[in-house]
Amino acid sequence: MKNKLSIVLSLFLVGFVSPLLANTIKWSMPGDSLTLDPHAQNEGPTHMVSRQVYEGLVTHDINMNIVPQLATSWEAVDPETWVFNLRDGVKFHDGSDLTAADVAFSINRARTAPSDMVDLIKSITSATALDDLTVEIKTEGPNPILLNQLVQIFVMSESWSKEMGCELSYNWDAGETSKCASAANGTGPFEITFREQDVRTVFERNQNWWGDQNQFNIDKIELLPIKNDATRIAALLSGEIDYTNVVPVQDLDRIGSSADHQISQVAQNRTIFFGMDQGSAELSSSNIKGKNPFADKRVRQAMYQALDMDAIKDKVMRGQSFPAGIITAPGVNGYTKAHDARLPYDPDAAKQLLADAGYPDGFEVTLDCPNDRYVNDEAICVAAIGMFAKIGVKVNLDAKTKSIHFQEVKEGDADGNPSDMYMLGWGVPTYDSHYVFSFLLESSGSWNKINFKNDRLDEITAAIGVETNIDTRNQLIAEGWDIIQDNIPYLPLHHQVVNQASKSNVDIHARINNEPLFYFANVN
């Protein structure tokens, strides 16, 4: 009888007391992680979920500096060989010890197709365990941004992965479901205890985590994706969720006026700009035949100075943007405030430049624009077209859904015509200018769809890909940006803003990649 009573009592206590002591954060965003396999998708929300559970050799701290995580120190023993010393005593969620073999296994798994991380770390030629706590990584040629890349490479347990039958990331040919896609076993501050994709994922605090257990007081996170903006905000206001890292611009006032909620914001690691095909002999959508107006820098500058980005910020973005003079975001190595200052808005000067270039009556061109990718993307294009019209350039809008837009920018439209002018936004996951130069501006860059070609910039891009002396390298990057700013290959528009909202007592730092770090979060 007494026993029964105590069981009932303890059930009662477990049922009632523990929820009071446990700090739970209910987190919502529009999408869910696509897979828990940390190498299968190189995609934002997927990494956001993995980051709470899995860890890398190094990581970004709350202010986006690179700091040690599973590695405690490292050195480049020669330009192509790096040695990492691992943290001692780290355990996976299943209780097994982290060893150098696990790290080597994970890096090799991530750089083997069908992993989606292959392209990010393609410079790595081998990863081997030298002893239990030392890993050697060899690269093809020197790779100065190896650390930036390793931030995205999560470490899995070799024995667990083999047990689950997912030694490799999901295999297309086999057509099977991967067990690593629905279960996780990392070393991170939280472990996943329940998961129903797109509905609910529960993370519980890893009491054995090696890191500082006192810097956060969250015991449990529930991820409840809500796709519809209005519903998500309603759920926040009604208290059904505590925090969302995606807040639509139009709801900021509504949340701000609630006494129980707060908003925090920061410039996002994504800059929006227009590209102009300046290398082709002729623009297919233009009335000017036989030559390409965009080939003339004066025309590009005229288009630039015709844009009143402050007006777009006020009217289109409701104040939620930072007008940009450079096509990369603050926080990226190479970004400077000086380069981010825009050329003045001056329609008269713009008209003069057009006249000097031989187009006193302007010309006609088509602007390709996505309508569901960036914040207010189509509205920005519409506003810009009105501004271009003021200097006599007639721009026709072709707005499409993102899947078609990006395909047309990348490969041309159905008739094979390349896009003459298009909107693009670029985030920099490595936080280094090399990523911008090599994709957008190097003459062989896979997203250099403006056909920009500058021999010196090509040299610089190649050089900063291998230069390991930080000072020399930063000088080269600065020279590169000088060339870019001087040539105006793209028309920078603005940096997007990250807005997140939470209950007033929930303290979660907004970061430029929109990724929450719950091991820095507190409920007061």
Partner 1 sequence: MLNYFLKRLFQASLVMLIVAFVSFSLFNFVGDPVNNMVGQEASDERREEIRDKLGINDPIYVQFYNFVENIIQGNFGISYQLKRPVSELISERMPATLELVFVSAILAISVGVLLGVYTGIHRDSFLSKVILVLSLAGVSLPTFIIGIMLIYLFSVILGVLPSFGRGQVIDLGFWTTGFLTISGLKALILPSVTLSLFQMTYIIRLVRAEMMEILQTDYIKFAKARGIAENIINYRYALKNGLIPVITITGINIGTLIAFSIITETVFQWPGMGSLFINAVYFVDIPIMSAYMIMVAFIFVMINFIVDITYYFIDPRIRLKEEKE
Question: Residue numbers of the site for partner 1 (CB under 8 A)?
Answer: 31, 34-35, 40, 42-43, 113, 116-120, 170, 172-173, 175, 177-178, 181, 196-200, 224-228, 230-232, 234-235, 237-240, 401, 403-404, 406-407, 410-411, 435, 439, 446-447
Distances (CA, A) of 414 to 289, 405, 407, 410, 449: 21, 12, 10, 12, 16
Closest to partner 1 by CB, 322 or 447:
447
Q: How far is the CB of 372 from partner 1 (least distance, A)?
A: 8
How many Å apart are CA 83 and CA 85, to the nearest integer?
7
Closest to partner 1 by CB, 32 or 102:
32
Closest to partner 1 by CB, 14 or 113:
113
Closest to partner 1 by CB, 17 or 199:
199
Burial class (CB in 10 A: 0-12, 13-18, 19+), 31: middle
Closest to partner 1 by CB, 67 or 230:
230
Q: Could you tell me the maximum CA-CA distance found in the chain, to the nearest angstrom?
A: 99
Q: How far is the CB of 290 from partner 1 (least distance, A)?
A: 31
How many Å apart are CA 202 and CA 63, to the nearest integer?
26
How many Å apart are CA 212 and CA 519, to the nearest integer?
9
In total, the chain counts a number of residues equal to 524
Q: How far is the CB of 473 from partner 1 (least distance, A)?
A: 20
Q: How far is the CB of 83 from partner 1 (least distance, A)?
A: 26
Q: How far is the CB of 435 from partner 1 (least distance, A)?
A: 8
Nearest-5° Cα angle at 30, 260 to 330: 80
Closest to partner 1 by CB, 215 or 407:
407
Closest to partner 1 by CB, 43 or 212:
43
Coil/strand/helix, residue 134: strand
Q: How far is the CB of 65 from partner 1 (least distance, A)?
A: 23
Contact criterion met (CB below 8 Å) for 31 and 224: no
Closest to partner 1 by CB, 194 or 315:
194
How many Å apart are CA 478 and CA 131, to the nearest integer?
40
Closest to partner 1 by CB, 177 or 214:
177
- Report which of 102, 82, 83, 84 is spatially closest to residue 92, judged by C-alpha positions: 102
Q: How far is the CB of 237 from partner 1 (least distance, A)?
A: 5
Contact criterion met (CB below 8 Å) for 184 and 54: yes
Q: How far is the CB of 197 from partner 1 (least distance, A)?
A: 7
Coil/strand/helix, residue 257: coil
Q: How far is the CB of 35 from partner 1 (least distance, A)?
A: 7
Residue written as token pair 């509905």: 199
Question: Which two three-digit tokens encode residue 408?
Answer: 């047309």
Question: Which two three-digit tokens encode residue 404?
Answer: 């078609």
Closest to partner 1 by CB, 234 or 311:
234
Closest to partner 1 by CB, 115 or 305:
115
Closest to partner 1 by CB, 283 or 424:
424
Q: How far is the CB of 342 from partner 1 (least distance, A)?
A: 25
Q: How far is the CB of 402 from partner 1 (least distance, A)?
A: 8
Q: How many CB atoms lie within 10 A of CB 63?
A: 10
Q: Cα 19 from chain centroid?
A: 35
Question: Which two three-digit tokens encode residue 320?
Answer: 């939620």
Q: How far is the CB of 175 from partner 1 (least distance, A)?
A: 6
Residue written as token pair 């920005």: 380
Kindly give the residue spans of alpha helices, DSSP state H, lying in 164-262: 229-237, 252-256
Contacts of 236 (CB under 8 A, 6+ apart): 28, 242, 243, 244, 255, 261, 501, 502
Question: Which two three-digit tokens encode residue 462?
Answer: 């190649």
DSSP 50-85: HHHH---SEEE-TTS-EEESSEEEEEEEETTEEEEE
How many Å apart are CA 264 and CA 498, to the nearest integer?
8
Q: How far is the CB of 407 from partner 1 (least distance, A)?
A: 4
Q: Beta strand 220-223 with 200-205: parallel, antiparallel or unpaired?
A: antiparallel
Closest to partner 1 by CB, 139 or 178:
178
